[in-house]
Amino acid sequence: MSEEAMEVVRRFCEAFSGGDVDQVLSFFTEDAVYHNMPMTPVMGKAAIRAVLEAFMRPAEEMEFRILHMAANGPIVFTERVDRFIMGGKEVLLPVAGVMEVKEGKIAAWRDYFDLATWVKQTRESG
């Protein structure tokens, strides 16, 4: 299961480069939970869509660079740098992510990052 789960997460991270919210959403179960740890968790695809659109829409480019990945069964841990081009400027956000994969879909996604790093860079870019 670990290899299969890691492949789902790898493809999910690659999907962000396309900038297509629908494609990214296709990786989630209907009742998935997405929790950016500095914020309140959201549940279900409609709520996840709203969060994704908030940071995907203003991005001219986006890439989730996986630095390290490990899995224990269906639980996948990633160390990433999420890269965005916003307002013509590069925004880099170091992230530790944990995803739970069930039946080939992401049932839970938790990202741990420093919100101040995001806010500082996005304010500077806008």
The per-residue pLDDT for range 15-27, each reduced to its tens digit, is 999 999 999 999 9
Contact 62, 16 (CB under 8 A): yes
Domain boundaries, the chain: 2-125
pLDDT above 60 (res 126): no
Task: Grade residue 8 by pLDDT with cuts at 50, 70 and 90.
Answer: very high
Three-state SS for 71?
strand
> What CATH code is assigned to 2-125?
3.10.450.50
- According to the model, what pLDDT value does residue 43 have? 98
DSSP conformation class of 73: T
- According to the model, what pLDDT value does residue 50 have? 96
40-87 per-position pLDDT tens digit? 999 999 999 999 999 899 899 999 999 999 999 999 999 999 999 998
